[in-house]
């Protein structure tokens, strides 16, 4: 779907844009006036980690859960853990910082590195406490990623990297299509406009 047909959380609306009109995430470095979408800026990422700023919109994340977008392999690992009734634990650190729920729903549909317009339609999202094995397997079939909520995050800032680790999964929203979270995003924006 066209990126500009996805409703923007207000702080995303306020972000600088690239020449196509894409909002530029908080942690994206700039070079010669051009955002480098594939890269993560160390200083910007460190500021987000330290000050609890959303890695997409650069505004404060209130105390409580934080969200991120995960890829296919992690989506599958989470689904398997949930299906087996086990807590999901991934102690591997990642370079990707957390964000607001609305910002990550938005990013999952708009970021060209995450969205995949031609994937087939999947099942609607479900909350972990409503998941049964059948639902988990159905939801993840064809999923190429998920928006995942965690109770909190930890971080470490080294001279050349900012590492994040996420603890206690609280929400799991797999997606198989680029517009999978459109209704969820609209509902989130209606609930907590920022
Ligand atoms: Zn945000």
Cα 12 to averaged position of ligand 1 atoms, centre (Å): 7
Q: How far is CA 185 from CA 9, 49, 72, 141, 149, in A?
A: 9, 24, 21, 22, 14
3-state secondary structure 93-149: CECCCCECHHHHHHHHHHCCCCCCCCCCCCCCCCCHHHCCHHHHHHHHCCCCEEEEE
Q: Are 177 and 119 in contact (CB under 8 A)?
A: yes
| pLDDT tens for the 194 residues of the chain, in order | 677 889 999 999 999 999 988 999 999 999 999 999 888 999 999 999 999 999 999 999 999 999 999 988 899 999 999 999 998 987 788 999 999 999 999 999 987 554 433 322 233 333 444 444 545 555 566 678 999 999 999 999 999 999 999 989 999 999 887 788 999 999 999 997 55
Cα 16 to averaged position of ligand 1 atoms, centre (Å): 14
Cα 108 to averaged position of ligand 1 atoms, centre (Å): 13
């Amino acid at each position: 779907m066209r990126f500009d047909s996805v409703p923007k959380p207000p702080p995303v609306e306020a972000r600088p844009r690239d020449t196509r009109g894409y909002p530029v995430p908080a942690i994206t470095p700039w070079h010669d006036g051009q955002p480098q979408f594939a890269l993560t800026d160390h200083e910007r990422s460190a500021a987000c980690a330290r000050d609890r700023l959303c890695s997409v919109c650069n505004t404060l994340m209130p105390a409580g859960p934080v969200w991120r977008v995960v890829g296919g392999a992690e989506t599958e690992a989470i689904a398997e853990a949930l299906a087996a009734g086990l807590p999901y634990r991934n102690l591997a650190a990642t370079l990707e910082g957390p964000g607001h729920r609305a910002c990550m729903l938005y990013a999952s549909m708009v970021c060209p590195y995450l969205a995949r317009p031609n994937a087939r339609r999947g099942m609607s999202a479900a909350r972990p406490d409503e998941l049964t094995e059948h639902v988990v397997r159905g939801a993840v079939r064809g999923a190429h990623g998920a928006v995942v909520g965690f109770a909190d995050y930890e971080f470490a800032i080294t001279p050349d990297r900012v590492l994040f680790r996420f603890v206690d999964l609280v929400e799991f929203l797999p997606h198989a299509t680029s517009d999978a979270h459109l209704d969820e995003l609209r509902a989130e924006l209606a609930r907590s406009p920022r």
